[in-house]
Amino acid sequence: MMTNPRVAIVGATGAVGVELLSCLETRNFPLASLKLLASKRSAGKQVAFRGEMLTVEELTKDSFADVDLALFAAGGDISREYAPIAGAAGCVVVDNSSAFRQDADVPLVVPEINPEAAFNHPRNIIANPNCTTIITLMALFPLHQKYGLKTIIASSYQAVSGSGQHGITELENQVRAISNGHPVEISTYPRQIAFNVLPQIDKFTDTGYTKEELKMLNEGRKIMGLPELKVTCTCVRVPVYRSHSISCVAQFEQPVDVEGARACYEDKPGVALMDEPEAGVWPTPLDSTNGDTCFVGRIRKDLAVDNALNLWVVGDQVRKGAALNAVQIAELLVKGN
C-alpha cells in the first residue's frame, strides 16, 4: 500500500500524458510530489497542475531515484528501456504500452474486472491493456458474470486520435483539402482517411490478422482469466476524432435474454446503458468523448449464434482506454484494495 506516493509521468507532454495529468487532478489523486518526464526536446516546458507550474524534466536512467510510482505514456521502446530501470529502483510502473502485456510476471489490469491482479507485480511493472480491449471488456464483463463468456466476434471502429496527434492532423488537413478542391496528402495512414474507412490498424501478422486485432484475443484471455476464450476481430480506422466504437457478438455458456442482460449493468462502475432504440437512443463516439463512462446499446439476441447477444459499445480511448485506467490502477495501489 502506498500513502501519498511520489509520482512521475513519463511522456508527460504527449496526448496520454496530458490526459494522465488531468485525471490525477480531477480525481484528487493523493501524492506527495509530481515529476514530469519527457524527451530532451520537451525538457524545460512549463505545465500547470493544481494551481502550480511544473517544469518538464528530461527522462534519464537516474529519473526514478526519488519516485514511488511512475505512469508511463511514452511508447513501447521507451517502456522497454526505462520501465525495468524504474522497477529495479523500487518504483512501481503502470505502463500504457504493449511492451509487457503478455509477460507472465506482469499483471494486465482493468480495475473493474481484475483489481486483485494489480497487487502481484514481482517486477514492479503493471501493464495497462489495449484501449479497444478495455472498452469491449467493460461491456462484456457484467454479462460474463451472469452468463459465462465463451466467444467474442467483434469489429472495432477506431478514432484517428488512436494514432496520436498525427492522425487528427491528417484527417483535418484532408477534409480541408477536399473542401477547397485541393489534392489530398497522405502520410500517417496508407490510404486517405477523410470520408473513408481503413480496415487495417497496425501491421499484419502471418495469420492474416493485424497485431491490433490479436490484442483482444490475447489480452482478453489474460484479463478475464479465460485461457479458452475464443475471439475473432476486425479493427477499422474511421474518420472520427476521438472515442472508439465496437460492434460485438458475444456467445455465452448459459442461455441469454435481453432484459436480463440489461439488468447486468445496474450499479456497475464505469459502464452504463444507452439502449432505447425505438426512441433513437443509442451510444455514439461523441457521447463518450472526454468522459469516463463506456456506453452500451443496441443489445439484442443474435440471430445466427446460439446463446449470443449482439451489442454496441463506445468509450473514450484516451481516457478509459489509457489514462483513466492507469490512474485507477494507481488508486488501487494507494488504497491497498
Cα distance between residue 315 and residue 313, in whole Å: 7
Cα angle: 165, vertex 171, 176; to 5 degrees: 125
Encoded amino acid at 123, one letter: R
Locate 72 and state its grid cell: 508511463
Strands 308-315 and 244-252: antiparallel
For 223, what's the count of Cα atoms within 13 Å in the CB-facing half-sphere?
Answer: 29
CA atoms of 207 and 31, how far apart (whole Å): 45
Task: Give the whole-angstrom CA distance, residue 49 versus residue 28.
Answer: 11
Residues 6+ apart with CB under 8 A from 219: 101, 102, 108, 129, 130, 133
Given a contact cutoff of 8 angstroms between Cβ atoms, the answer to whether 238 and 155 are in contact is no
Distances (CA, A) of 190 to 185, 197, 244: 11, 11, 20
Q: What is the DSSP letter of 328?
A: H
DSSP state letters, 164-213: -HHHHHHHHHHHHHHHTTPPPP-SSSSS--TT--BS--S-B-TTSSBHHH
Q: Are strands 125-127 and 92-95 parallel, antiparallel or unpaired?
A: parallel
For the annotated catalytic residues, the residue numbers are 131, 244
The Cα 95–Cα 79 span in angstroms is 7
Q: Could you tell me which residues come within 8 angstroms of residue 308 by beta carbon, excluding any fewer than 6 positions away?
A: 151, 249, 250, 251, 252, 256, 301, 302
